[in-house]
Structure 1
């Protein structure tokens, strides 16, 4: 039962959708002036008690689209463990819980996060306090259903599967099936996804009852306010090009996406050795460090986040100016989610994809899926070459630090402490002087060539 929506319908208000006054006030406080398209389509159906499958691009406001109806249902019939939300990553689960608590603060809603990387016993004790909403990753929820005495979801009224395509890409299918067997069949189910994959279609048939299908975007799309570029470069100059780009974009808030945890760590160390305020975010960090990195980046204490795809889905990080794909994403879907970290909520943004001689086929697939050619980002080759020597030294130091980190991890002595702010400032001033000298040198060479 697909739904479409006219431009006039999109200009509606939360009260017009049937949202109760207390939640309308909460929306206004959070800056939600008017519903997004997915919110305007999903909320009325959810309030009527229909199951929903919602397909919408990243940054479209999906969280509020299911949070508002759940909170309104909870107001009408308050009970513990009213709703359970499944999310693919710990960071996204925490963010969803924060949205529930912000929207439901005036009506006394209690939300709890149940994810890995945190103490099971502490979580078990918190579950005995019977929160209204549990936001979790599937694996940890199954652990509690199997091992925490007295905990069950037999009276659950609503199940949400957010970023369902990602949940299934991460092979949570078996865990989700276990959860479905442990909860009532008589419930409301909301399934939200960026794309309709074969796995998502099978999950829809298994878990939803006569759902309303809402699709507000095509399978592959990026927002019009996003400027998309590529840089073609030799593999051996990849790090130097990254340093050049970040220096050109100095002052902007940037996310650099790498393919692996090890590469994200190496790049963050390399950049810090050159004085850039970079911090890593990847799956091998402890939960505290992951949240610490995310908080520092969100609050502007560090303006370069070097991350794996753990940061590409669902996270609402305001004011990201630039996304750099250091490694070309493996699929066009991953590309769309990565670049969707910028140009959110009507703002403009920029993405740059670094393409080496080994990435051409992957890159061409992305262009084909997008249905357009990306623009070439102009790079001063002389400027890159001038940086190469310093970058090589930073590479050497980063390799040593990565090796030390692996050795300490293996011996159980913990990780090397993070470099302090004073060291960062010293290194940054060195980098700035070096880069100024490099720019001056390029300028002199150009003047000579003109003569």
Structure 2
């Protein structure tokens, strides 16, 4: 049990701070891996956390989104694994499935030259095939708490009694998603003698409680003291009547054509509707939301990451942790209900030193929520300038597309009704399948013209 007060990482003058990967104490093979990934030099959180972790100390890392937290805990673990090779060496707990896959990709890229084996253990996948992967005894497990606990309780021969490292990434969100019971049970069945890293965007009461329960004399590493957004991010708001939101969205997408966009909606339904609306207008949009099966979610992300789609429309399932380097513009189509979610949403762009834009739609019903966001980030945002006449030229085309999207949504609803007992994870397939409805509607239109 540690005391409430953690020693701060010692402040060093800026010019004395390590500038290269080897200065941090990393071995050559890992320095080369960082260079191969085109990481010229360590980020702030990496400079602060890696030397402390290499000394064998427990770490609490508080850092803004997009600051390079994954490498800050992955590199010390890989270096320790090189010195002492062992199966089931480290466990990384994350709140979401997508984040688990992303962390795995990054660790495998860093450990490509040293033969590191990772396994992702998350919900939405087959338990038996996961049990077979666990039987191969990978070095590093990346898991969501619920599914890991299922295996600890039900998979014969699987235990983590030899574990050396525990990482909790996005700890505030793990606890906000009510995984406290699962985390407590996991902590009871892993060794007390281990290294623990706790990474979080915010220090909540729950995180403090967790820190007292599972860290020993931790060093606190903090690179942002208040809620803030990245310096190179240009943030704007746009004030519009609620009935013209779709028209303004299409105008902005046309005006900034050539960029890649993440559009955030508040519900799964609105995510699907907006994707259909944009597809009807010939824009390459793909939806991502919590009701999709895990394979569909990964397929949507892969299409966007591979730049086969330039627009990803998502609920807050994608607002935290996901690193998609090429997001140029984030649009808050629906304003977030929780102000902190604004920070995480806009953090999807302007990552790793790049610049980016964020535009928040504010309707007559959103003023109070928007004022809370300004209060949280401590600044007033400039208005995104548009010419109303130019926007309204699109009104007729958008209205037609809205009508088609409405019919397609109804068609999807009817299909869903017929298979109510199903898992409910096929929404992305359904949206792709909506092309059939579109063809039918086009056929009807042609028929009317001939008459």
The two structures have a TM-score, normalised by structure 2, of 0.91
Q: Find out whether 1:147 has 2:154 as its counterpart.
A: yes
User: Are the aligned partners of 1:11 and 1:34 in contact in 2 as well (CA < 8 Å)?
Assistant: no
Q: Secondary structure at the match of 2:217?
A: coil
User: Are the aligned partners of 1:114 and 1:137 in contact in 2 as well (CA < 8 Å)?
Assistant: yes
User: Are the aligned partners of 2:408 and 2:434 in contact in 1 as well (CA < 8 Å)?
Assistant: no
Counterpart residue number, 2:370: 363
Counterpart residue number, 2:108: 101
Q: Find out whether 1:341 has 2:339 as its counterpart.
A: no
Deviation at 1:181, TM superposition (A): 1.2
- For residues 37-436 of structure 1, what are the structure 2 equivalents within 5 Å? 37-412=44-419, 415-416=429-430, 418=432
Deviation at 1:178, TM superposition (A): 1.3
Q: Secondary structure at the match of 2:432?
A: coil
Q: Secondary structure at the match of 1:398?
A: helix
Deviates more, 1:55-64 or 1:404-413: 404-413
Q: Secondary structure at the match of 2:88?
A: coil
Deviation at 1:187, TM superposition (A): 0.7
Deviation at 1:258, TM superposition (A): 0.7
Q: Secondary structure at the match of 1:8?
A: helix
Distance 1:61 1:407 in 2: 45
Distance 1:260 1:420 in 2: 19
Q: Residues 69-109 of structure 1: CA distance to partner in whole angstroms, max 9, x if unpaired?
A: 00111111111110000111111100101111111111111
Q: Find out whether 1:36 has 2:50 as its counterpart.
A: no
Q: Residues 222-265 of structure 1: CA distance to partner in whole angstroms, max 9, x if unpaired?
A: 11111100000111111111111111111110100011111111
Deviation at 1:422, TM superposition (A): 12
Deviates more, 1:391-400 or 1:102-111: 391-400
Q: Secondary structure at the match of 1:418?
A: helix
Q: Residues 410-443 of structure 1: CA distance to partner in whole angstroms, max 9, x if unpaired?
A: 322865361699999xx9xxxxxxxxxxxxxxxx
2:29 pairs with one of 8, 22, 27: 22
Distance 1:214 1:123 in 2: 35
User: Are the aligned partners of 2:276 and 2:431 in contact in 1 as well (CA < 8 Å)?
Assistant: no
User: Are the aligned partners of 2:408 and 2:437 in contact in 1 as well (CA < 8 Å)?
Assistant: no
Deviation at 1:9, TM superposition (A): 4.0
User: Are the aligned partners of 1:38 and 1:61 in contact in 2 as well (CA < 8 Å)?
Assistant: yes
Deviation at 1:346, TM superposition (A): 1.2
Distance 2:154 2:212 in 1: 29
Q: Are the structure 2 counterparts of residues 345 and 5 from structure 1 closer, same or farther at C-alpha, using a change threshold of 3 Å?
A: farther
Counterpart residue number, 1:440: none
The two structures have a TM-score, normalised by structure 1, of 0.91
Where has structure 1 moved over 6 Å in runs of 4 or more? 420-424
Deviation at 1:133, TM superposition (A): 0.3
Gaps of 5+ in 2: 1-6, 442-451
Distance 1:293 1:326 in 2: 19
Distance 2:372 2:430 in 1: 40
Q: Secondary structure at the match of 2:225?
A: coil
Q: Are the structure 2 counterparts of residues 74 and 11 from structure 1 closer, same or farther at C-alpha, using a change threshold of 3 Å?
A: closer
Gaps of 5+ in 1: 428-451
